[in-house]
A and B are shown apart, each in its own frame.
Chain A
Amino acid sequence: MKILEQIYMPQESVNDEDVVIVKLYFASGDAVKNGDEVLEIESSKRSMTLMSHTDGFVRYHCAEGDRVQIGSLVSEIMDESHTSRTIESVAQSSHEPKNATQTFFSKNAKRLMERKGLSEIEFQGKDFVNEQDVQFFLNANQDKSPQQENDSFTASLKKQVRIEKLSAQKRREIEYLSSVQAHGLNSSLSISINAAPVIHFSHTFLSLFKGSLLPIVMYEVARLLKKYPKLNAFYNNGSIIYYEQINIGLAVDLEDHGLQVLGIEQTDRLSMVKIEEEVLSQIQLYTKNSVKTSNADITFTITDLSNENITTFSPLINKDNGAILGISALDHFRHMNLSLTFDHRITEGKYVARFMAELKKRIENGGNGIGKIKK
């Protein structure tokens, strides 16, 4: 028996370390043709199918519902069906029950069920239930366990609410943001900036983002981070990890593409024009779902809600970052707020206040400092 093709789990999104197998279109041993869809996966970004590129017999290395590591082997196309010379179910055998006659529980399963107040009815229809099955059941139902405490409340709630399961993308987002937010030692500072002069500059000199402050803020932040390395770092297990490079990430959330952070490598070395070009090219890649940079490359994040008429907000720090800067909208007086959320385990308010004051100065004097645009 020869292996004609091996199908590995592709990296669909840079933020994914694993994906969920949603559906297997065949059973192991079935014949497949070139171009047949073999299995469906759900990444944090979207669902997609993997295809066979040759004729043969499929052999799966995963099951529906499995969470599979990126790059791992999920399926093979063989030159002959392995089932044809192995086991065939004896369907007519009277010795083969079709359904579980009763459910058997292991000692550990019973113990855990007793501790968690679960009844055997919860596992009706199963053949064997061990501790792992009970644990799996508890994990799958952990969101609704508070509701189970009060059945009447649950019943009334069901009439009043609509329950929607979180998408894989949202779950991934929660996982990433929780890694820095969970400890609860973050703090936010805001500063008001007179943007009138720099808006004029933006209209005059920027070619792609006319009227936007984003490239200017990125440009100034990248240069200032060299002086404030604690904001270009992250906390890990009692240590501060400083990044050598300054790669600013831009949080983008366009319809149907999901929230993603686009990295601009070595932002501090780029001219304003280059930053504009890089941001545009990253956004184009993002809309085509083919962003190359991984989350690990981003050392500081900027999120821009200036188009949404937001006056001030507290952004959430990205995974493996120590700070994030939020850009709010301009008010009638052409003032705007910049808000910086930082990890208080790395630095403290005074250090950040200095950074913000200096950033304000640089942006307000933008017409001078950044006027020397290099093409």
Chain B
Amino acid sequence: LDYGRYVGFTELNNYQTSVSNGTYPVVKISPILSQANLTIVTYGGMCHEVLSCIDELFYEHDFKSEIIVLSQINPINVEVILDSVETSRTLVVIEEGNPTGGISSEVIAMVAQQVNHHVRYLKIGALPVPIPAVKSLENQVLPRKERIIDTISQKLS
């Protein structure tokens, strides 16, 4: 999907993958039977980091996640996100970029403008510093599995 990697071709137990039409599709990974109680929107390099979190988010914190992966960030296909949020009522946007004034802010604003019910929102992004070039420091700054799970569980449980 991005970074030369594919989404949805890895077997995820009890999840199904849907792909929208178009040149820049949206990929949705959702529980095959259950209604999700957490919508996670992400894109680019964060996608696999997010996918690595969903088992623990469920087992430890009772979240049934629906992951929406964007391959186009302008214009954003907000309808898919709105559909998901209709049932989950909780939206988390996770990105590698700085969350202040970023894509996550834009996604949340677009959803908030159009929903007719209460939704809990959360954005997770890079720490507010320049992204370090050294890999070990970059890992500290970018959202990684542990920080994603901790933030979601602390803010939304």
Contact = CB atoms under 8 A, between A and B. Distances in A.
Nearest to A106: B62
A127 B34 contact: yes
Contact of A128 (B10, B18, B64): B64
B136 interface: no
Most buried by B among A106, A109, A131: A106
A104 B14 contact: yes
Contacts of B80: 86-87
B32 interface: yes
Contact of A131 (B10, B19, B62): B62
B11 interface: yes
B16 interface: yes
B76 to A, nearest CB: 12
Nearest to A73: B116
A63 B11 CA distance: 29
Contacts of A28: 83
B33 A61 contact: no
Contact of B62 (A87, A96, A101, A108): A108
Interface in A67-122: 72-73, 82, 85-90, 93, 95-102, 104, 106-109
B59 A107 contact: yes
Interface string A44-79: 000000000000000011010000000011000000
Given A95-B8, A131-B62, A61 B86 contact: yes
A44 B13 CA distance: 41
Which secondary structure dominates chain A's binding surface? loop
Interface residues of A, number: 36
B23 interface: no
Contact of A130 (B20, B21, B58): B58
Contacts of B31: 127-128
Interface in B94-119: 116-117
Nearest to A90: B19
A130 B32 contact: no
A355 B127 CA distance: 73
Contacts of B16: 89, 96-97
B60 interface: yes
Given A85-B79, A106-B58, A100 B32 contact: yes
A185 to B, nearest CB: 37
A179 interface: no
Most buried by B among A72, A126, A130, A133: A130
Given A61-B117, A73-B116, A87-B28, A128 B79 contact: no
A130 B19 contact: no
A356 B60 CA distance: 62
Most buried by B among A1, A87, A88, A89: A87
Interface in B59-87: 59-64, 77, 79-80, 83, 86-87
20 contacts: A61-B117, A63-B87, A86-B77, A87-B20, A90-B17, A93-B17, A96-B16, A96-B18, A98-B32, A101-B13, A101-B14, A104-B13, A106-B59, A106-B62, A108-B62, A126-B34, A128-B31, A130-B64, A131-B62, A132-B37
Given A86-B79, A96-B18, 17 more contacts: A86-B26, A86-B80, A87-B26, A87-B28, A88-B18, A88-B21, A93-B17, A95-B8, A97-B13, A104-B13, A104-B59, A106-B61, A127-B31, A127-B34, A128-B34, A130-B62, A132-B37
